């Protein structure tokens, strides 16, 4: 590792690999919700793990920008942070909720899903989709992220001396649910078998976003950054972490990987993200900087929110043509989701994103992703 590796990392304003990794995570999620599976590879049923990768990226990037702001300005501006997050997340999310509400009140008034959607509207509006089972299930991850965005800046700003024990306790509690250790207590409290699995919050995991936070703190100080060199400094490191992920996936024999399986995947994802940002000239960078991948990563938030509807539209249209091939449906639906997200980004989200600059502590802050 060169002597100025840490200084080079600190000078990096935009981490070149992150959009490519976002692209990977969102395409995996679209695959998961499409009617396509590979019977010979159990891991093809694990596309939900794409959200875990996105969480690692989000935790790392958001906290890195906060730490740099504090180092530069002496403090973290919470009002500016919350305004930037609001301008990035709220317009598309609440715009979609409003559109669906109007649709199910009018044209879709006879829809059973519409009745359920309208009944659950307070849950959607308050970002509580990870606490309750709802029909529009993908909102659980947005709820988890919003709760993180609400709570963690307060911790970074006011409890900085206790970051390590807070991270340890938070990850430990989350792993209790991952290993399903409180099952008997929760089912006794809620009064019935199956209550544990029905409780929405136990189905989501905060561990990957907290692993991203760990990376941000490890890389912020020169001493800890240099101690991480054996794991992340080599140009080959991202390839190694990626191959380890693939190898673990090849060993999976069932879709329920709660426990050590899920935790192992999340740790390897954190390793992949860490090695991808540790230096900008690693061997995976040309692939992750491939322009179509970068663009998909840029509009990945829109793809995530809109892809379910793109899949349903594709299935209906392809059904009229007599096409039921899952792989073809995935390809068409993914293309439609990207198109819808691109249109949303250009004509709906961008005007709000331009306002983010007014609340940026520096030009660097304007690069926050979802």
313-342 residue pLDDT tens = 999 999 888 888 889 999 999 999 999 999
Task: Name the pLDDT band for 202 (thresholds 50, 70, 90).
Answer: low
More confident: 331 or 133: 331
In whole angstroms, how far apart are CA 53 and each of 21, 29, 211, 262, 265?
8, 10, 10, 12, 9
Of all residues in the chain, the percent with pLDDT exceeding 70 is 90
In angstroms, the CA 329 to CA 34 distance is 7
Task: Name the pLDDT band for 363 (thresholds 50, 70, 90).
Answer: very low
Task: Name the pLDDT band for 219 (thresholds 50, 70, 90).
Answer: very high
Largest CA distance in the chain: 66
Q: What is the pLDDT of residue 53?
A: 96
Average model confidence (pLDDT) across the chain: 89
Least confident interval from 71-85, 166-180, 276-290: 166-180
In whole angstroms, how far apart are CA 152 and each of 82, 231, 249, 271, 287?
11, 27, 31, 22, 32
Q: Judge if pTM exceeds 0.85.
A: yes
Name 174's Cβ contacts closer than 8 Å, sequence gap at least 6. 205, 206, 207, 210
3-state helix, strand, coil in the chain (%, to 5): 75, 0, 25
Q: What is the pLDDT of residue 367?
A: 54
Neighbours of 281 (CB within 10 A): 9
Task: Name the pLDDT band for 365 (thresholds 50, 70, 90).
Answer: very low
In angstroms, the CA 43 to CA 119 distance is 35
More confident: 43 or 230: 230
Q: Per residue in 109-126, pLDDT tens?
A: 888 888 999 999 999 999
Q: What is the pLDDT of residue 72?
A: 93
In angstroms, the CA 8 to CA 173 distance is 36
In angstroms, the CA 341 to CA 92 distance is 10
In angstroms, the CA 67 to CA 156 distance is 8
Query: 225 pLDDT exceeds 50?
Result: yes
Angle at 349 between CA 151 and CA 273, to 5 degrees: 55
In angstroms, the CA 47 to CA 284 distance is 21
Of all residues in the chain, the percent with pLDDT exceeding 90 is 70
Query: 304 pLDDT exceeds 90?
Result: yes
Name 127's Cβ contacts closer than 8 Å, sequence gap at least 6. 139, 142, 143, 146, 147
Q: What is the pLDDT of residue 176?
A: 85
């Amino acid at each position: 590792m060169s002597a100025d590796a840490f200084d080079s990392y600190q000078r990096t304003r935009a981490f070149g690999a992150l959009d490519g990794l976002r692209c990977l995570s969102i395409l995996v999620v679209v695959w998961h919700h499409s009617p396509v599976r590979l019977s010979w590879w159990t891991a093809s049923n694990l596309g939900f793990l794409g959200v875990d990768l996105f969480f690692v990226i989000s935790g790392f990037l958001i906290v890195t920008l906060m730490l740099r702001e504090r180092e530069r300005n002496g403090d973290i501006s919470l009002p500016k942070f919350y305004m930037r997050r609001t301008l990035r997340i709220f317009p598309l999310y609440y715009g979609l909720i409003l559109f669906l509400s109007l649709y199910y009140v009018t044209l879709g008034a006879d829809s059973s899903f519409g009745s359920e959607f309208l009944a659950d509207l307070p849950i959607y509006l308050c970002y509580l989709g990870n606490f309750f089972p709802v029909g529009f299930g993908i909102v659980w991850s947005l709820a988890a992220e919003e709760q993180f965005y609400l709570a963690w800046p307060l911790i970074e700003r006011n409890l900085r001396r206790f970051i390590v024990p807070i991270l340890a306790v938070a990850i430990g509690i989350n792993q209790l649910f991952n290993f399903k250790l409180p099952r008997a207590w929760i089912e006794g409290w809620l009064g019935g078998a199956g209550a544990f699995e029905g409780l929405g919050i136990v189905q989501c995991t905060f561990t990957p976003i907290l692993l991203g936070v760990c990376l941000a703190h490890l890389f912020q100080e020169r001493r800890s950054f240099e101690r991480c060199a054996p794991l992340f400094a080599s140009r080959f490191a991202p390839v190694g972490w990626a191959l380890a992920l693939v190898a673990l996936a090849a060993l999976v024999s069932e879709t329920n990987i709660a426990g050590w399986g899920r935790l192992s995947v999340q740790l390897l994802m954190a390793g992949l993200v860490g090695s991808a940002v540790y230096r900008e000239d690693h061997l995976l960078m040309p692939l992750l900087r491939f322009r179509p991948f970068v663009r998909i990563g840029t509009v990945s938030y829109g793809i995530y929110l809109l892809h379910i509807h793109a899949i349903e539209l594709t299935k209906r249209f392809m059904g009229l043509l007599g096409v039921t091939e899952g792989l073809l449906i995935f390809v068409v639906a993914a293309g439609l989701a990207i198109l819808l997200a691109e249109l949303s980004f250009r004509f709906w989200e961008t005007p709000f994103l331009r306002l983010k600059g007014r609340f940026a502590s520096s030009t660097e802050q304007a690069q926050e992703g979802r």
